[in-house]
Amino acid sequence: MLSSEEGGVLVQGLQELIDWIIAKGLSSTSIEQIMEGLAPRLVALGYPIVRASIAMPSIDPMQKGFSVAWSPRSVMSVDIQGHDDAGQEMFERSPIFHLLSNDLLYARWRLPTEHAKSFPLLDELVALGATDYLIKLAEFPGETALGGVGFSLAIDAAGGFSQEQIAGVERFMPALALACCRVATTRVATDTLAVYTGARTSGRILSGQTRRGDGASIYAAILLADLKDFTSLNERWPPQRIVGWLNEHFEALAGPVEEHGGEILKFMGDSLLAIFPADINDPSEACGRALSSARAAMNSNQLLNVKRKELDEPQFLVDIVLHVGELFYGNIGASRRLDFTAIGRAVNEAARIEKLADAVDRSILASAPFAAQVATGFESVGTFALKGVAEPAEVFAWET
C-alpha cells in the first residue's frame, strides 16, 4: 500500500503518462517507438520492471503476430510468430493464448509458480528474478485479424505489485491500446497494400490517387513472364498442389525482378507483369536492369525445376518478353472496384510477342525498341504480324 503522498504522485504521474501515450500514438511509426519511451517512464513511476512487453497480431503473409519486449538489462527485442507449426506451437504455450482460450482479459501470476511449466516465459522471468507478472488484453472493434493488443509487466519487488500499481495499469491501458491500434492499422494499410499492389503503386494510392482514371503516362521497360503448359495441370492434380507449385515459380521469378528495381504490377493466372520505370531520353539503364532480371529469373526457374525433377514433380518452363515504351499507369475499373495497373500499346505488344515464343523456340524475346537499348546479346528471329498491331514487328531473341 502506498502512502497518500506517494499515491498522489502516482496519480499525477499516470495522467502525464497517459498524455504522453496519446501524443506518441499520433506521432509514432512503430510499436517499438512507443515501448522505448513507455517502459522507462513506468520505471520512473516506481514500477520495478524486469520485463515489459507489447504483443499484437499481424495481417501479414510472413508473420501471424509479434511482440516487442523491453528490459533494463538488455536491448529491446522483437519476436515474430510465423504462420508455420513452430509459430503456432510457440503461441499456444504463451500467457496470451491462455487468456484468449478462456475468454479472459486479465491474468496475474505470483512468481515462482507451479504453473510455470505450462508457460516457458514464466520460467524465464523467474530466472531473471521476477516476483510478479501480469498481463492485460484490450480488444479492438471489428472482425479483422487485428483483434487487439496485449500488454504485460514483470517486476522484482519482494511483495509483488501493489494495488495502486495494478490500478495504474488499468488506467493507462485504454490510451496504450488506442495508440497501438493507430500505429498498427497504419502499418497494415501500408504494408498490406504494398504486398497486394507493390511498393511504388501502394505509395501512389496512399498519396491520394484513388479515383477512377487517376494516374499518368510513364515510359518504362516491361517484363512479361508466362509459365508454359501450366493450365493442363488442372486435369491431373488437385488445386492445392497446383497453387503450391505456382507460388514457388512466382517466387523464383519475382525475386530477381524486385532485386533489380522492378515492380510487379500483376499476377495473371500463370503470368507475371512487371515494369522498370525509365528515362524516355535514355531508357538503356532500365532496360539493362530488366534484362538482368529476366536472365536471373530464368536461371532461378531452372534451379527450381532441377529440384522438381528430383522429387518426381512437374517441371515448368517459362517464356519472358521484354519491351519498352509508353503506358498508362493508374486506376482502372468500376467506381467501387478499382485496379491500379498498366495498359497501353506497349503492354499489348508485349503480350502478342509472348505468343511467338514456341514458334521461334526461344525463351527470352524482346522487341526491336528494347533490343536497341542493349549493346550485345540479342539476335533477330524475324518480323511478324502481331494481332491488334497495325505494323509488323521485328522480334529478337537472347542468344543462349
pLDDT band of residue 116 (cuts 50, 70, 90) is low
228 to each of 158, 296, 301, 314, how far by Cα in Å?
69, 18, 12, 11
Backbone angles phi, psi at 10, to 5 degrees: -65, -45
Least confidently predicted of 74-88, 111-125, 304-318, 373-387: 111-125
- 122 contacts: CB under 8 Å, gap ≥ 6: 95, 109, 111, 112, 113, 115, 116, 133
Q: Other CB atoms closer than 10 Å to residue 74's CB: what's the count?
A: 10
Write down the residue that cell numbers 504522485 correspond to. 9
Q: What is the DSSP string of 251-262?
A: HHHHHHHHHTT-
What SS3 class is residue 118? helix
Whether 156 shows a pLDDT value over 70: the answer reads yes
Residue 376 pLDDT: 87
Residue 8 pLDDT: 60
Backbone angles phi, psi at 162, to 5 degrees: -80, 160
- The rounded mean pLDDT for the chain is 90
What does DSSP assign to residue 15? H
Can you name the residues that pair with 149 across neighbouring β-strands? 138
Comparing 200 with 54, which gets the higher pLDDT?
54
Q: Locate 91 and state its grid cell.
A: 503461441
Distance, CA of 289 to CA of 291 (rounded, Å): 5
pLDDT band of residue 155 (cuts 50, 70, 90) is very high
Whether 35 shows a pLDDT value over 60: the answer reads yes
pLDDT band of residue 259 (cuts 50, 70, 90) is very high
Residue 68 pLDDT: 96
182-211 burial: b if 16+ Cβ within 10 Å, else e = bbbeebbeebebbeebbebbbebbeeebee
pTM, entire model: 0.76
What does DSSP assign to residue 208? T
Distance, CA of 262 to CA of 275 (rounded, Å): 6
Write down the residue that cell numbers 490500478 correspond to. 167
Whether 4 shows a pLDDT value over 70: the answer reads no
Q: Which of 349, 352, 299 is nearest to 327 (CA)?
A: 349
- Side-chain half-sphere CA neighbours of 349 within 13 A: 26
Q: Which of 369, 372, 370, 368 is nearest to 382 (CA)?
A: 368
Least confidently predicted of 72-76, 183-187, 321-325, 329-333: 329-333
- Side-chain half-sphere CA neighbours of 120 within 13 A: 5
In tens, the pLDDT along 329-371 reads 888 888 888 888 888 899 999 999 999 998 999 999 999 999 9
What ranges do the domains of the chain cover?
Answer: 4-196, 209-398
Question: Which overall architecture, per CATH, does domain 4-196 show?
Answer: 2-Layer Sandwich (3.30)
Residue 11 pLDDT: 75
Residue 136 pLDDT: 97
State the virtual CA torsion across 82, 83, 86, 87 in degrees, nearest 10.
50
Least confidently predicted of 37-51, 191-205, 280-294: 191-205
Whether 159 shows a pLDDT value over 80: the answer reads yes
Q: Locate 340 and state its grid cell.
A: 491500379
What SS3 class is residue 114? helix
Domain spanning 209-398: which superfamily? Nucleotide cyclase, GGDEF domain (3.30.70.1230)
What SS3 class is residue 275? strand
Give the DSSP H/E element, type plus range, for residue 215: strand 215-227
48 to each of 108, 174, 283, how far by Cα in Å?
16, 22, 61
Residue 3 pLDDT: 57
Comparing 97 with 229, which gets the higher pLDDT?
97
